[in-house]
């Protein structure tokens, strides 16, 4: 029972946070509610016994990406820019996006029912305490079954990082000269 209370608590916080994030006018407020949503999602991971995902979510998204987001919002002074730029609601685009997303969600729920077992909601799963430590399991599968994709992804990230550094450096040199 405790599990479901926690799940609905975190789920509710995540949904409310997401709704508030979309509706706030102030960019920093949006960022704060996005952080709330991310933390609540991390809470759901923890409640499911995925400890490593929980902490990776917090360290990467909240501690890393969101700090940079807020950094950028602070420096760019988006609230001033917002007075000049108004988001125009393109109703056709909005309708199409909502229709596509709705169809996707419906398809998932419909087809999940035909999966072996009981669809999306798996009953009688093993209790979380019986699982092997997540981090070790993750590392093992990354370095055995998924070694090639893992290496490709890391090379890609490295290229992106080096590229970003090179671009930033070039810009500085032209400014100086």
Partner 1 sequence: MNPTLHAILVFLQTWWVELTSGVVIVAVVPLVAGYVVLVERKLMADMQARLGPMRVGPHGLLQPIADAVKLLIKEDIIPDEADRLIFWLAPVISMTAALTSMGAIAFGPSFQVARDINIGILFVLGVSSLGFLGIILGGWASNSHYSIMGALRSTAQLVSYETAGGLAIIAGLLLSGTLSISGIVAAQEKYHVWFIFLAPVAAFIYLVASIAETNRAPFDLPEAESELVAGYMTEYSGFRWALYFLGEYANMIVVGSIATTLFLGGWLRPFPNVHWLNWLDFLPALIIALIGVYSIYRAGKQPVMVQTGFMWAVALACFAVALIFAMPWFVGTLKFVIPGLNGAFWFLLKVSAYIYVFMWLRFTLPRYRFDQLMHLGWYILIPLAIVNVFAVGVAMLLESNGVNRWLALILTTLVTLVFAILLVRWHDRRTESASTASLAPDSYAG
Q: Which residues contribute to the site for partner 1 (CB under 8 A)?
A: 1-2, 26, 28-29, 32, 35, 51-52, 54-55, 58-59, 62-63, 66-67, 70-71, 74-75, 129, 133-135
Task: Give me the least distance between CB of 87 and partner 1, in Å please.
Answer: 21
Q: How many CB atoms lie within 10 A of CB 53?
A: 18
Task: Give me the least distance between CB of 160 and partner 1, in Å please.
Answer: 17
Task: Give me the least distance between CB of 148 and partner 1, in Å please.
Answer: 22
Nearer Cβ to partner 1 (11/29): 29
Nearer Cβ to partner 1 (79/104): 79
Nearer Cβ to partner 1 (18/62): 62
Task: Give me the least distance between CB of 99 and partner 1, in Å please.
Answer: 35
Q: How far apart are CA 111 and CA 108, in angstroms?
A: 5
Nearer Cβ to partner 1 (32/119): 32
The secondary element (H helix, E strand) that includes residue 141 is helix 134-143
Q: What is the DSSP string of 76-93?
A: HTHHHHHHH------HHH
Phi, psi of 85 (to 5 degrees): -100, 125
Q: How far apart are CA 161 and CA 167, in angstroms?
A: 10
């Amino acid at each position: 029972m405790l599990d479901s209370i926690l799940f609905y608590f975190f789920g509710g916080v995540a949904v409310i946070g997401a709704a508030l994030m979309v509706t706030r006018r102030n960019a920093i407020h949006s960022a704060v509610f996005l952080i709330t949503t991310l933390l609540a999602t991390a809470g759901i991971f923890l409640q499911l016994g995925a400890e490593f995902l929980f902490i990776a979510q917090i360290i990467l998204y909240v501690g890393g990406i969101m700090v940079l987001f807020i950094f950028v919002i602070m420096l760019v002074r988006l609230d001033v820019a917002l007075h000049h730029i108004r988001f125009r609601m393109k109703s056709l685009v909005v309708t199409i996006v909502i229709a596509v997303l709705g169809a996707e969600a419906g398809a998932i729920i419909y087809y999940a029912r035909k999966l072996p077992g009981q669809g999306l909601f798996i009953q009688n799963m093993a209790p979380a305490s019986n699982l092997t430590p997540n981090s070790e399991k993750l590392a093992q599968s990354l370095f055995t079954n998924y070694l090639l994709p893992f290496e490709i992804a890391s090379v890609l990230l490295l290229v992106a990082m080096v590229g970003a550094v090179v671009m930033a450096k070039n810009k500085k040199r032209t400014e100086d000269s």
